[in-house]
Structures are given as C-alpha cells and as structure tokens.
Structure 1
Amino acid sequence: MTNVPPAAAAAAHGVPLPSLTQFDFHQRLMDLPGAAVILFTRQGCGACKVMGRVLADWREEADAPALFVVDAETDTALVREFEVFHLPALFVFRAGAYHGRLEAPPRLPLLRAALAAVLARPPEEAP
C-alpha cells in the first residue's frame, strides 16, 4: 500500500471526489444521514475518468447524494469485499445501509433514475 493521501490519490485519478479507504469506509458511511454513491476506480481507466467527471458535475446539484471514490488499486480489500470485477463500479448506501450496485451509463439523467430505483428497494446485506 502506498503512502499517497486519499485526496491526492483521487486527484491523480482525475476524480475530484472525496476518497474512502478500507480503514474509514464503513465508519464514514454510517455517519451519513442520506444517500451516498461510491465509485470504484483506478488510475489509467478511461471509463472511470468519464464517470468521475459526471459524478463531479452531479455533486454540484442541490439534491445530489454524497459522492465518494475508492482507489481499486490500493484498497484491494474493498475490491474483494464488494466483488468488483469491472471498473468503474458504483455502489449505493443510505444512512449506512447497503442498497446495492448502481448500474447506469455516465449520464446524469440515467444515473439519477438508477439511484431512485436502487433506493426504492429495501436495504440488503452488504457483500
């Protein structure tokens, strides 16, 4: 594991979102009152950069969920825990409860609709 600070790692990926690591992932999500979307990404992933830019734009909206990034190269424990096989990968939590994967193309209207559908389902057991 490298000693790169999480914010610096996120910036290196071209994703200006707050970072989560295996050491603070669950605690920070438990402390959030609303919805959170977590992007698993890695440096050099073109599709990840596109999704990260779209999520950064989403963050500017008043009703946006909390948005975070996980570096899949350094936080392999989280990659294994969430069974991430393809990047980018998005996951949804609300008030600390896991709601599942968010699967949508990197377009805000589609992401918003997919998030609403995921949050309409009851929470499920985290992987």
Structure 2
Amino acid sequence: METFDLRKGPWILLILVVLLSSICDWTDGKVAYQFKQHYYRKKPKVEKRFKLARKLCLDTEACKNLHGQDLSKCLRQCLAPSCYEEIYGDDELELGEIDVRANSFKGCWLTSLPVGSKMDL
C-alpha cells in the first residue's frame, strides 16, 4: 500500500486549482458582441411597414429561391445594404446562432428610410 506524500500534495493541488480556474474563466465568460446598436421599439405601424418591405424583397430574383440563413441574409441586404454591412459585415451570423442583433438591424432600417416616409409611422 502506497502512502500519500504531503510534500508533493500542495503543488499538485495548486496546479490543479490554476488549471481549473483558467478553464472556468474560459467557459464561463459571456460573448460580447461588438456592433453598433440602434434603438428599435416594436410598434404595429412600423412592424407592418417592415413586413411589407420584407415581402417586396422576398419577391426579388435574388432572394426568391433561397432558404434559411441564406434567405435571411439576402432579405437584410435587400432591405438596407448599409445597415447589413454595419451590423453583420464583420461578423455574419453562424448557423444556429441566435440573432441578438435583429432589433438593432430594424432600428437601423427605420433610420435609413427617407424622411418623408417616416411621417406616418
């Protein structure tokens, strides 16, 4: 039967604690998205306008036969190319990623509308 050598124990424990703490920091950290945020508050008139614009883009040749993530990308680029580039340009959505930037995109889209067209919103 082997005996436990106390002189080696603290070093092993210290190494184990350091390794575990670095692993916990690595997995426990939240991902911080760096993108310009635009204010958007959901209102019936604005949502109706957005859905109409989205429908018009859906009927374009570029987006007509696409599905899933490719369709979402095409629709956003059609709705507001500058907003798409600003919000998604450096970090496009990955497959299965939850889009936390969707409302910011809608806010950007809303600010990109011509001034006169916002009067009824």
Shorter-chain TM band? under 0.3
TM-score by length of 1: 0.25
Which has a greater percent of strand?
Answer: 1
Which has a greater percent of helix?
Answer: 2
TM-score by length of 2: 0.26
